[in-house]
């Protein structure tokens, strides 16, 4: 009888675990979305901005992990992930979502001495006694930390921030030299992804503006010119997710929203720097304006899906010419996708690779940061 009781107890525990970590996470968001669709709270522009900034500070001070890194997985897959997760925690903690959140924050509060000082104290805790990052810089995803360092250098003129930007440039330049003139998203990659354009080029351009390093600017221009030549559609100017480096064939989705956003970030920075790539920038803007969903925003896959994606939307709005939208119009449309306490909702999860895209949506440091960058453009 003891064995029977033991089996029963184990069975009950197992079923509770399955309900908690498999059944409930999978069905609850779908049921909630169907029964309780998000409605606009009709908050004023100033109030929304305050809430987004407050939620962003809460995220960095409490060190919450917002980004959806994996789609829903069953109990067996979760146990497997747990046993094979070495190095994953650090990768997710110090990666592009966190970097863009910091960049959005410093751009939003740089005129406010109190909040800028709080931000500085937080950022300095990411540095060791020698002034280097406490984490290993080994991925181009992390280039946006260099953007943050440059902003702090402009404000405080402390060499340690300039040194961080210098080391980030050296890391990227080493990548460039060792890969025959390509800044690769990952070592040994045969498919060149447009993620790299948005993750690296904004830093290279801002670094050039700070240092007048013409090699840096030339590297950035070379990357974008190649991508435009082999990775974009000649009629719509939409970028494919990737380019096969062996035969220059386009690969992956051409209407993956966040991928378009990554590419758009590089175009925007060059266009605003010296008017370069004007045709590509304005034509892509025109194409995207035709692909809005029923709410006047953008989806995960603009043109073939109507389901709102906050990362696509905030990236597009940030990159487009300011005169196309007013901040009042932007926030009126975004209001329903910002929680009561200021978190931007409904961002598609991290992408696994070309033609392998997340189906899960949630909060994200990336979108939180992009929303702040968008707000900073309308000061």
For 172-192, what is each residue's pLDDT tens digit? 999 999 998 999 988 888 899
What whole-number distance in Å separates Cα of residue 167 and Cα of residue 131?
11
Instruction: Tell me what pLDDT residue 61 has.
Output: 83
Q: Strand, coil or helix: what is 362?
A: strand
Handedness of CA 60, 261, 297, 376 (dihedral sign): positive
Neighbours of 93 (CB within 10 A): 12
Which residue, chain included where needed, has tokens 């079923």?
15
> For residue 108, what is the enclosing H or E element?
helix 96-109
Mean pLDDT of 35-62: 79
Whole-angstrom distance, CA of residue 322 vs CA of residue 305:
26
| pLDDT of residue 19 exceeding 90 | no
Confidence band for 6, pLDDT divided at 50, 70 and 90? low
For residue 237, the model assigns a pLDDT of 98
Q: For residue 209, which of 181, 243, 169, 160 has the smallest C-alpha distance?
A: 169
pLDDT at 345 over 70: yes
Instruction: Please give the mean pLDDT across all residues of the chain.
Output: 87
At 370 the pLDDT is 97
Q: Is the pLDDT of residue 44 over 60?
A: yes
- Return the residue matching tokens 């980030």: 168
Average pLDDT over residues 311-319: 98
Averaged over 297-325, what is the pLDDT?
Answer: 96
At residue 4, the pLDDT reads 64
pLDDT mean over 352-376: 90
Query: Across the strands, what pairs with 302?
Result: 305
The whole-number pLDDT of residue 37 equals 53
Domain chopping of the chain, boundaries: 1-37, 44-376
pLDDT at position 41, please? 67
> Residue 110, SS3?
coil
CATH of domain 44-376: 1.50.10.10
The pLDDT tens digits for 231-273 are 999 999 999 999 999 999 999 999 999 999 999 999 999 999 9
Report how far residue 298's alpha carbon sits from residue 246's, in angstroms, rounded to the nearest whole number: 33
185: which residues sit within 8 A by CB, 6+ positions away? 140, 192, 193, 195, 196, 199
What is the reported pLDDT for 186? 84
Please count the CA atoms within 13 angstroms of the CA of 183 that sit on its side-chain side: 32
Structure confidence by residue, pLDDT tens digits, 109-140: 866 888 899 999 999 999 999 999 999 999 99
Residue 275 CB burial class (10 angstroms; 0-12, 13-18, ≥19): exposed
Confidence at residue 13, expressed as pLDDT on a 0 to 100 scale: 61
Residue-level pLDDT at 82: 47
Residue 347: how many other CB atoms lie within 10 Å: 31
């Amino acid at each position: 009888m003891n064995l029977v009781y033991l089996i029963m107890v184990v069975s009950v525990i197992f079923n509770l675990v399955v309900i908690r970590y498999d059944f409930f996470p999978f069905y609850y968001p779908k049921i909630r979305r169907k029964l309780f669709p998000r409605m606009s709270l009709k908050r004023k522009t100033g109030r929304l901005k305050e809430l987004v900034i407050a939620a962003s500070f809460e995220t960095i001070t409490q060190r919450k992990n917002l980004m959806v890194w994996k789609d829903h997985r069953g109990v067996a897959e979760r146990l497997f992930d747990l046993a094979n997760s070495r190095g994953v925690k650090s990768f997710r903690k110090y990666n592009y979502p966190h970097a863009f959140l910091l960049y959005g924050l410093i751009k939003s509060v740089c005129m406010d001495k109190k909040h800028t000082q709080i931000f500085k104290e937080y950022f300095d805790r990411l540095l060791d006694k020698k002034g280097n990052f406490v984490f290993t810089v080994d991925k181009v995803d992390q280039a946006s930390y260099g953007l943050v360092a440059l902003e702090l250098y402009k404000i405080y003129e402390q060499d340690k921030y300039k040194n961080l930007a210098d080391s980030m440039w050296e890391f990227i330049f080493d990548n460039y030299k060792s890969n025959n003139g390509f800044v690769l998203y990952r070592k040994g990659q045969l498919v060149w992804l447009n993620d790299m354009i948005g993750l690296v080029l904004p830093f290279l351009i801002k670094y050039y503006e700070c240092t007048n390093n013409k090699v840096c600017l030339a590297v950035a221009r070379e990357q974008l010119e190649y991508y435009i030549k082999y990775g974009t559609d000649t009629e719509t100017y939409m970028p494919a997710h990737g380019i096969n480096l062996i035969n220059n064939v386009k690969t992956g989705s051409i209407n993956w929203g966040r991928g378009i956003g990554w590419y758009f970030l590089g175009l925007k920075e060059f266009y605003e720097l010296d008017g370069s790539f004007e045709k590509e920038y304005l034509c892509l803007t025109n194409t995207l304006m035709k692909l809005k969903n029923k709410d006047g925003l953008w989806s995960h896959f603009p043109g073939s899906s109507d389901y709102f994606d906050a990362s696509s939307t905030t990236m597009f709005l940030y990159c487009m010419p300011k005169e196309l939208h007013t901040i009042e119009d932007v926030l009126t449309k975004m209001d329903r996708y910002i929680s009561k306490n200021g978190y931007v909702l409904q961002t598609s999860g991290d992408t696994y690779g070309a033609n392998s895209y997340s189906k899960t949506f949630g909060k994200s440091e990336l979108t939180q940061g992009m929303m702040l960058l968008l707000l900073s453009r309308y000061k």
